[in-house]
Every structure is written in C-alpha cells, then in structure tokens.
Amino acid sequence: MADIYIPDRDRYTKMPYQRCGRSGLKLPLISLGIWHNFGDNSDFGVQAQMLRTAFDLGITHFDAANNYGPPPWSAEINLGKHLKNDFSAHRDELLISTKAGYFGWEGPYGDWGSRKYLMASLDRSLKNLGLDYVDIFYHHRASDDDPIEETMGALADIVRQGKALYVGISNYNPVQAVKAEAELNKHHMHCLICQPRYSMLYRNPEKAGLFETLDELGIGSISYSPLERGMLTSKYLSGKFDKPLTDQQQAQLKIAVQLNEIAKTRGQSLSQMALCYNLRKVTSVLIGASRPEQITENAGALKNLAFEEEELAVIENLIG
C-alpha cells in the first residue's frame, strides 16, 4: 500500500513570501524547477520525495515547461501524476506554471510564438498535468519573426478562457519586455513575471538593465540557473570532474573557489550564498535538484539573506 503524504503543519512558518511586481500574488523566495530531474530517466520515487520536501519547506511554486524532460513533455506528465497522488487536496495552496516557446512537435506549428502553437501547447500541458488551469503560463522565448501582437494576444485570450490565471515571459530582454507589456495592456492585462537566466557568474540581464525595466513596469522576476548549472555548488569545488572542464568553466571555477571562502565567513555553503545574492534582484529564485537533501540545503539560505557592504564590494570585484 502506497504511503499517504501528510504535509508539515508548520510549512508556512519556514518560507518568506514576496509580492510579485505590482500584482496581488506572492511567491516563495525559493521555487522548484521541474526540469531534467523529473523526466522519464529519473526515479519516480525520488521525484515524489523532492516535491514533498519542497512543500514541507513552504515552497509552493512548481515551474515546468512543455519541453522539459527528457523526453519533452515527460516532466509535465510526471508532475501531473505527483499532483494527483500527493497534492490533490492542496491545489489551492500551489502555484503551477508551464511554458511554451521552444520546440514542442514536428512541423511548422510546434515552435516559437504563434497563436496556434501557444494555445495547442497549453491544451496539451493541461492534459499532462491533470489540471483545469495553470497559475502562470509563460511565453518561453521572444521571437523577432512572430508578431508580438499575436503572441501577447494569445496569452491574453488564454487568461480570458480561464486556462491560466496570469501570464509571464521568459528569456526576454528589456526592449522585448517593454513591448510585451505594452501589447498586454491593450488587452487590459498585465505581465505578471519575467524569468531570465541569472547568477553570480551570468549577469547579462543585470548589466542590460532588465531588473530596472521590470521594476518600472511593475513586473516581478524569477531567475533560473541561479547556481550556474552546478558551478556555484560544492559539485566542482572538490576538483573531481566527470569530464574535462571547458576554458569557460575553468575560469568560473577559479571565481567559485574564492566565492566559497566568502560563503564560509557567512556561515553558508556556496550555493546558499549564491541564492541570497540573486534575491537582491529577483522576487524568487528557481532551483533545480536531484535529491531532497539539496532542496533542504538551498532553503538554508533563508537564515542569512543580508550582505554587508564590504562583502558585496569584495564579491563585485571578483565576479566583475
């Protein structure tokens, strides 16, 4: 007989929640990405334990996409099974998001940002997830070929149809974000959130002025790859690698080693400090995990979110 999951009664005392832009919606400071480790090549039982651990820590936001797996769509399908098994009584306590914008299926209608692709993709996602609606539906990447009016018009209609409560954008630069918000405003709607790649070792959005633009527009933000695909964790600090590092990775590792020394003085792991650094700029950080223990460790970042000016000066000098 399968075990019955009973969530931790104190879960909401463990996690701070922050308002997303100028909306009424609050996000947990840490959210869980349903990506590589929720595909068919991952252990289903471990997936369940990761989701339970996250929810017990007050992580209420699970973020997926149509192309997550492998294979594509499988992460949504597996998440849907877990939602049915463990969280059917807690749907109103969860924020479930998914995305479309990368390759979904063969042919001219399975990619980018056409109305046909976005609507068909979401219909398939809802079936996979076993849900009537998602809380947030993202356009996963901007396109210079697809009319922004069509893409944002489709997102607006998706909200009107009740298939999503909010809409967001991912991998948009500041100029594209301004255009997206302007088009949504024509439909009397607002972009809730933008999801860029951002970390201590990848600061392009910050340098481009994305976060200032989002603040001006009242759009929240959630960063993916805040641990730079493992480079800002203990994974590489030991000097043992599964395969040779690229020149870029070697340069990043040299910085990571020095950042780790700063983290030690803060009483944190490198990954915990990296998440705290991101939270200076974003509403929530989106973590990935392959084990429940990694989620618990990442949540430990919340014990020391603040930085001294001297710490930031040293960090900024290191990461450039």
Question: Exposed (0-12), middle (13-18) or buried (19+): which is 25, by Cβ within 10 Å?
Answer: middle
Are 275 and 300 spatial neighbours (Cβ–Cβ below 8 Å)? Answer: no
CA angle 124/67/39 to nearest 5° reads 100
Domains of the chain in sequence order: 12-229+282-306 (3.20.20.100)
Listing DSSP states for 60-82 in one string gives -EEE--TT-TTTTTHHHHHHHHH
CA 46 to chain centre: 20
In angstroms, the CA 163 to CA 260 distance is 44
DSSP bridge pairs for 71: none
CA angle 174/177/180 to nearest 5° reads 155
- The 3-state DSSP class for residue 234 equals coil
In angstroms, the CA 279 to CA 264 distance is 19
- The 3-state DSSP class for residue 137 equals strand
Residues of the chain with pLDDT under 70: 1-2
194-233 pLDDT, tens per residue?
Answer: 999 999 999 999 999 999 999 999 999 999 999 999 999 9
Tell me, what's the pLDDT at 2? 67
What are the CA-CA distances from residue 277 to residues 190, 231, 316 (Å)?
27, 15, 11
Rounded to the nearest 10 degrees, how much is the dihedral formed by the CA atoms of 131, 133, 135, 140?
90
- The 3-state DSSP class for residue 188 equals coil
DSSP bridge pairs for 193: 168, 220
For residue 258, which phi and psi values (nearest 5 degrees)? -70, -35
Locate all alpha helices (DSSP H) within 219-269, ordered by sequence: 247-265
Average pLDDT, the chain: 97
* Greatest Cα pair distance in the chain: 56
